Amino acid sequence: MDTGCTVGRYLVDRLRQLGLEHLFAIAGDYSIEWLNRYVTPNGIDIVEEVNEVNAGYAADAYARFKGIGALCVTYSAGALCAVGAVAGAYVEKVPLVLINGTPSVKKTITFEQTGFSAHHFITGRETDLQSFEHVTAAAIRVDHPDLAPALIDYALTKCISERRPIYIELLQDMVDLECEPPQGVLEPGRALSDETSLEQSVARIRAQLENAENPLIWLGVEIDRLGLQDKALSLIQQLNVPFVTELLSKAVLSEDDPLFVGVLDGQASSKAVIDVADASDFVLALGVWLTDINSLGWEPDYGKTAFASFDAVKWGTFFAGQVALGHLIDGILAEKIVPRGRKLPERAARVAPAVGETDVITYQGFYSYIQQYIDRNTIVGVDASMNYFGSLLLDVPDPGGFVVQSSYSAIGYSAAAATGICLAKSPGQKVLVFSGDGGFQMTAQCLSTQTRFGLDPVIFVIDNGVYAVEQWLADASVFHTDKPFYKPCELHRWNYSALADVFGCQGWEVGTYGELSDAVTSALRNTSGPSLIQVHVPDKTIPDNANWKTN
């Protein structure tokens, strides 16, 4: 065979064809030759990360904007550190590619037959593969060059079709072996719908939309994951119906839209959203995932809500399987339903808080104050923490300008994810990240990567000294009484702003609104690297929309 193509080159070419421009990597001897000889010279920039967890979160966020993300690690010692990040991408339907540099066929056979171990081995060829089979759409082992093209194409097609991560074991002795070159371009598999299920679903929804006095559209995360934003907007405009989102899908459409009411997230929702949801007599939930984070203290009315998600329509006792969400929206649009003369809810004007420069910052006060810095050029990233509540009520006008991992809810995601966001965003956009202090302690090394590559997110670390959200989930009454925090929720205090000196970036420590104003103004002028703003808040202040839970 003399094709001029090798297994290593084949994988790079396919990733580049799918739009990958950056690959997050941790150096390892089982993968370094592939990185050095094939990735670097062929149009994909390597982002050398500090650990596998940060690389995974960065690649996850990158994929949410670019349609695909990838990280390269080394066998077992590296790959098994990335399991949590890959699991989060699986739960949240993010097209992520994990490339695991793997010991050669000879080393594997030697270990299995004689017990002579190569470093990182656990049980031979099965350990990593079996671990990732449970959290990926496809897990393959490239151990023969003739099979490599078919295996790689299969896995990558599954990734872009199911919008879920895949796992590729790239053996170190396969990289330079010749194989057939790529044929054509990989495309996602077609969405499939059962004709009868689709027709019945469209007919029932049409009838209800025509008869309802106060219908409501509830847009979920699948609108984003399946790229259905334009179709969803066309449907809302055709029907002239108000819409809400969920925390997972916040800002999936512009929150400046006059028909947008807010985020529907149980008792954490604004009063306007709760009033609209209660008054509605039919709710069309498109792509909504129900989770305990998206339905805080609240049970949806299944009798008046039609859920179209996971390729099915569920409404009361009606169930229709194999209904692709895009096909359903197309079907409803084709009906050209004539909107009724409905009174649309009025949006309350947001009033800037009256605070003094020397006033102590509170959790709610911080979010009320920070709104003025969020515009159409802002991408907001939020970590699993009490920041969920504060950020939920922010106005984010940029479509797609809100990144959260609230279904899987891994603490520490957002600061590391900012690396991927900054590499994927459009020129001129700014990235604001809101992290709890406990979460930031988990992935603080992200500042090293961001400084190294000149990325400029502004990371706010809300410093209250506790895992507040964990305490809130276990016993929220602590925040309203003199009861002490649970001991496991107390944090070792860091001087977060001083980390800027460690990593070579810029940092500020603030406790008053005047100090916060000065820090944000300076941080927004800093375009040469990350800005870290340590925001002190009293340990028992929480956002207003978290006060409903008292035990």
In the β-sheet with 22-25, what is the strand arrangement from edge to edge? Answer: 45-48, 22-25, 69-74, 96-102, 166-171, 138-142
Is-contact 186 321, C-beta < 8 A?
no
Residue 550 pLDDT: 82
- The CATH number of residue 218's host domain is 3.40.50.1220
**Residues 451, 319 share a domain:** no
Q: What is the number of domains present in the chain?
A: 3
Residue 188 lies in a domain: no
* In the block, residue with structure tokens 């529907």: 264
Please indicate, yes or no, whether the overall pTM of this predicted structure exceeds 0.85: yes
**Residues 202, 91 share a domain:** no
Residue 384 lies in a domain: yes
**Residues 389, 271 share a domain:** no
**Residues 163, 22 share a domain:** yes
**Residues 317, 406 share a domain:** no
Residue 448 pLDDT: 98
Residue 344 lies in a domain: no
Residue 342 pLDDT: 67
Tokens in use for 336? 């050209």
Residue 204 pLDDT: 96
CA dist., res. 264 & res. 304, Å (int): 15
CA 262 to centroid of chain Cα atoms:
20
Strand pairing category for 69-74 and 96-102: parallel
**Residues 22, 106 share a domain:** yes
**Residues 200, 122 share a domain:** no
Residue 124 pLDDT: 75
Is-contact 335 329, C-beta < 8 A?
no
**Residues 292, 242 share a domain:** yes
**Residues 156, 200 share a domain:** no
- Its domain, for residue 35, covers 7-171
Residue 398 pLDDT: 96
H helices within 226-283, ranges in order?
Answer: 229-239, 271-279
Residue 187 lies in a domain: no
The three-state secondary structure class of 394 is: coil
Residue 485 lies in a domain: yes
**Residues 535, 424 share a domain:** yes
Residue 535 lies in a domain: yes
Is-contact 381 414, C-beta < 8 A?
yes
**Residues 372, 312 share a domain:** no
Tokens in use for 6? 């090798």
**Residues 20, 155 share a domain:** yes
Name the binding residues.
437, 464
Q: Name the DSSP letter for residue 497.
A: G
- Angstrom CA distances, 89 to 35, 160, 226, stand at 23, 13, 15
Q: Which residues of the chain have pLDDT under 70?
A: 1, 341-343, 348-349
* CA angle at 409 for the pair 408 and 415, rounded to the nearest 5°: 125
Span 282-319, pLDDT tens digits: 999 999 999 887 777 788 889 999 999 999 999 999 99
Residue 158 lies in a domain: yes
Name the binding residues for Mg(2+).
437, 464
- The CATH number of residue 513's host domain is 3.40.50.970
Instruction: Give long-range contacts, CB 8 A cutoff, 24+ apart: 335-343.
Output: 335/202, 335/206, 336/238, 337/206, 337/209, 337/210, 337/238, 337/239, 338/210, 339/238, 339/239, 339/240, 339/241, 340/210, 340/213, 342/213, 342/214, 342/215, 342/240, 342/241
CB neighbours (10 Å) of residue 297? 11
Residue 472 lies in a domain: yes
